[in-house]
């Protein structure tokens, strides 16, 4: 059909005898007529006369009318005339699209190959915003699947962006095609595609099912979570949730008969250290029970006495025993020494060490700095419209790293760190630093500080009235430390926004407690180090559920763990680091509440009543009086006062932080606005 001549006799006869009447375009419903809004697409670059443009446009209208009326034979023949005789006109590309739709249906039989060639010729000519591009992409995918090229069809369909509207039948179609693919084909198409594609969910469900059938539990659950995150609904959502619940994952059939785990603990250290080591050991054994691996997992306890040299010496024996993974050591020096002494790459997970050794692969710690708090806090600040911040923190490595992480995310989102103030670790009086932060003019004060500094800083921030100056106080996870909440008065925490490990879902903690009490037949009263030991071992055992039969396979499976419900939070292994899922909270009283995507509301203290007739009351809602957490009665009251007293005229920059509907409810005398309930 190439060239400028008329369509061949054989094709004319074939089209005349092919019964495709009544077929519709793949996207459902008749195609709309070409309008001036659609870009003209010539197929050849050469001069063209006005008469040819007019004749081609008239033929195009005839072809489109025939297609709308279901006369696909006439539509294809007329479109072919344009493509062959008028390829340089602006109607040629549109004619190619008419012919592709006319011949792209299953009823067209062998002629689908013509439609495929047409659509593959057309797609590179369509601009990124051309409204025909999504339909052409999906038509190509459907023709490929009809030709038995299922992997190519799925790959093509995953090229549809998240914003492209698709129909229920399109999901049913790709669900059927993805089910035909082998695991290696699914892994190939998903590795090169975005999980936010319009038709992504059924493909990731198919991948999860295939992985589950192979016994790759962590990877199957991760694929199921990706399907849900990509917007899975209906049967895809049900399938993904079932996989997360363990249905369809045949891990038991592929588990190693023996799963040897070692724990390096300071059993002969100081009395306090020994007691803590015993708690960690109990947590490790509880993890075995929780994973239902008492008949397979073997836990061998090794004593390093808290000594780095002894910890390093133990590694040789541990590797010789064929151990799959190691829990511990607990302290920084033994942890680093043990990691460096490995020769076989056995993965090591410390429950408590803070410093992770540089240059060592497959070495993790639950006690190391978690980047999630600073990153989550920065993302929230940018999302709710905070544009400038000042940071205040000690000059220790952990605080400097949290400050760097916050700055990195905040500035990438368009925010500005106008000042970064540091102080020597151990400082207890912060007048100079706090006043310097106030003078910076920033909207918020970020405090990535350790728990001990929160206890000293929080009362002084209240004393200097930082929040009454309209400066929002932001803190990292240390601000929700149990010791901080016990030692710091509620009034010094009120209105502070923090990013803390997400503990709303009690699944992980409840599972830990149940396993502990089942294993030891006693009530868990003071867990101590048991939750950390439990999580360290639970991560290794979760990786073992993949069917790992060696330290290297276990290490690979560890890297696939996402959103594991642990006792100390929801855990993932990302870029060689254990991270927790974090939530943004606001202190409303002694307990912080979740405020995802919302910003605290400025409270107002009314101006005093004038003492005599010579005094006047300033306009506006009053003096700033700290912040109220969104969704609380205090926040609703503050927003009502703001509009009722004309604060929107005096502080227009604050209007976006309040609900404009409050102005109506306050002025009309109706009941106040409904409170947003804390999560």
Q: pLDDT for 261-304, tens place per residue?
A: 999 999 997 888 999 999 999 999 999 999 999 999 999 999 99
| Cα-based distances in Å from 358 to 315, 340, 363, 478, 576 | 18, 10, 10, 25, 11
Tokens 């792209």 belong to: 104
Mean pLDDT on 164-186? 91
* pLDDT band at residue 34 using 50, 70 and 90 as cut-offs: very low
Mean pLDDT of the chain: 85
At 387 the pLDDT is 94
The 3-state secondary structure of 325-387 reads EEECCCCHHHHHHHHHHCCCCCCEEECCCCCCCCCCCCEEECCCCCCHHHHHHHHHHHHCCCC
Q: How far is 276 from 335, CA to CA, in rounded Å?
A: 16
Q: How far is 286 from 511, CA to CA, in rounded Å?
A: 10
Mean pLDDT on 129-140? 89
Question: Which one is predicted more confidently, 210 or 589?
Answer: 210
Q: Does the structure show a pLDDT above 60 at 124? A: yes
Q: Does the structure show a pLDDT above 60 at 660? A: no
* pLDDT band at residue 675 using 50, 70 and 90 as cut-offs: very low
Least confident range of 322-326, 363-367, 432-436, 498-502: 498-502
* pLDDT band at residue 679 using 50, 70 and 90 as cut-offs: very low
Q: Does the structure show a pLDDT above 50 at 25? A: no
User: Do residues 31 and 65 make contact, with C-beta atoms less than 8 angstroms apart?
Assistant: no
* pLDDT band at residue 507 using 50, 70 and 90 as cut-offs: confident
Q: Does the structure show a pLDDT above 80 at 485? A: yes
DSSP 34: P
User: Do residues 70 and 57 make contact, with C-beta atoms less than 8 angstroms apart?
Assistant: no
Q: Does the structure show a pLDDT above 80 at 20? A: no
Q: Does the structure show a pLDDT above 60 at 199? A: yes
- Helical packing angle, 92-103 and 132-146, nearest 10°: 40
Q: For residue 460, give the nearest of 483, 431, 484 by alpha carbon.
A: 431
At 212 the pLDDT is 83
Mean pLDDT on 367-387? 93
At 503 the pLDDT is 67
At 32 the pLDDT is 43
Mean pLDDT on 581-598? 87
Q: Does the structure show a pLDDT above 60 at 344? A: yes
Mean pLDDT on 222-240? 91
Domain 1-147 has CATH 1.25.40: yes
Least confident range of 228-242, 497-511, 526-540: 497-511
Mean pLDDT on 77-97? 91
Least confident range of 136-145, 245-254, 299-308, 433-442: 245-254
Mean pLDDT on 127-155? 90
Q: Does the structure show a pLDDT above 50 at 18? A: no
Mean pLDDT on 592-616? 81
- Give me the residue spans of the domains in the chain: 1-147, 601-668
pLDDT tens across 444-453, in order? 999 999 999 9
- Helical packing angle, 150-157 and 168-178, nearest 10°: 140
Strands 582-588 and 497-501, sheet pairing: antiparallel
At 255 the pLDDT is 76
At 253 the pLDDT is 43
Least confident range of 80-89, 250-259, 648-657: 250-259
pTM for this entry = 0.59
At 505 the pLDDT is 64
Q: For residue 270, give the nearest of 181, 330, 188, 187 by alpha carbon.
A: 330
At 553 the pLDDT is 85
Q: How far is 539 from 534, CA to CA, in rounded Å?
A: 9
């Amino acid at each position: 059909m190439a060239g400028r001549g008329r369509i061949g006799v054989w094709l004319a006869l074939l089209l005349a005898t092919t019964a495709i009447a009544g077929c519709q375009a793949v996207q459902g419903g008749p195609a709309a007529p070409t309008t001036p809004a659609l870009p003209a697409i010539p197929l050849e670059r050469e001069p063209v006369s006005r008469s040819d443009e007019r004749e081609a446009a008239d033929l195009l209208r005839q072809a489109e009318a025939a297609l709308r009326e279901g006369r696909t034979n006439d539509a294809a023949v007329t479109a072919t005339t344009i493509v062959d005789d008028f390829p340089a006109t602006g109607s040629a590309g549109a004619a190619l699209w008419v012919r592709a739709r006319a011949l792209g249906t299953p009823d067209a039989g062998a002629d689908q190959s013509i439609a495929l060639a047409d659509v593959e010729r057309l797609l590179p000519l369509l601009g990124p915003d051309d409204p025909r591009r999504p339909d052409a992409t999906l038509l190509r995918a459907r023709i490929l699947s009809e030709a038995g090229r299922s992997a190519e069809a799925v790959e093509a369909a995953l090229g549809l962006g998240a914003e492209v509207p698709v129909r229920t039948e399109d999901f049913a179609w790709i669900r059927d095609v993805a089910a035909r693919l082998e695991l290696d084909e699914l892994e190939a198409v998903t590795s090169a595609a975005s999980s936010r594609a319009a038709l992504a969910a059924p493909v990731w469900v198919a991948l999860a099912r295939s992985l589950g059938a192979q016994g790759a539990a962590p990877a199957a659950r991760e694929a199921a979570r990706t399907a849900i995150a990509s917007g899975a609904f209906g049967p895809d959502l049900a399938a993904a949730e079932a996989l997360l619940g363990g249905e369809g994952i045949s891990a038991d059939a592929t588990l190693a008969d023996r799963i040897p785990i070692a724990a390096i603990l300071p059993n002969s250290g100081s009395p306090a250290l020994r007691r803590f080591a015993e708690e960690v050991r109990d947590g490790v054994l509880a993890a075995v029970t929780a994973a239902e691996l008492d008949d397979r997992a073997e836990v061998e306890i090794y004593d390093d006495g808290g000594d780095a040299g002894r910890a390093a010496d133990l590694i040789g024996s541990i590797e010789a025993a064929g151990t799959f993974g190691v829990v511990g050591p607990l302290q920084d020096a033994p942890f680093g020494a043990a990691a460096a002494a490995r020769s076989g790459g056995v993965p090591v997970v410390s429950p408590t060490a803070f410093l992770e050794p540089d240059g060592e692969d497959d070495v993790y710690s639950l006690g190391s700095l978690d980047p999630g708090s600073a990153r989550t806090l920065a993302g929230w600040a940018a999302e709710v419209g905070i544009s400038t911040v000042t940071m205040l923190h000690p000059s220790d490595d952990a605080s400097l790293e949290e400050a760097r992480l916050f700055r990195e995310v905040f500035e990438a989102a368009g925010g500005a760190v106008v000042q970064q103030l540091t102080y020597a670790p151990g400082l207890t009086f912060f007048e100079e630093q706090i006043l310097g932060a106030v003078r910076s003019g920033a909207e918020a004060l970020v405090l990535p500080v350790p728990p001990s500094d929160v206890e000293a800083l929080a009362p002084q921030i209240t004393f200097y009235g930082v929040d009454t100056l309209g400066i929002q106080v932001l803190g990292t996870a240390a601000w929700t430390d149990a010791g901080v909440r016990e030692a710091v008065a509620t009034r010094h925490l009120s209105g502070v926004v923090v990013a803390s490990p997400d503990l709303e879902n009690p699944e992980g903690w409840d599972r830990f407690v149940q396993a502990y009490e089942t294993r030891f037949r006693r009530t868990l009263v003071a867990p101590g180090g048991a939750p950390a030991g439990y999580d360290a071992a639970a991560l290794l055992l979760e990786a073992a559920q993949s069917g790992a039969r060696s330290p290297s396979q276990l290490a690979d499976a560890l890297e696939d763990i996402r959103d594991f419900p642990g006792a100390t939070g929801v855990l993932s292994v990302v870029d060689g680091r254990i991270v927790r899922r974090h939530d943004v909270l606001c202190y409303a009283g002694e307990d912080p509440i979740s405020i995802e995507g919302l910003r605290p509301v400025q409270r107002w203290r009314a101006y005093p009543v004038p003492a005599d007739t010579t005094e006047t009351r300033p306009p506006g809602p009053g003096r700033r009086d700290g912040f109220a957490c969104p969704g609380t009665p205090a926040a609703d009251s503050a927003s009502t006062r703001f509009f009722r007293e004309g604060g929107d005229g005096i502080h227009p920059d604050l209007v976006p932080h309040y609900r404009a509907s409050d102005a109506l409810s306050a002025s009309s005398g109706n009941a106040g606005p409904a409170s947003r309930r804390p999560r």
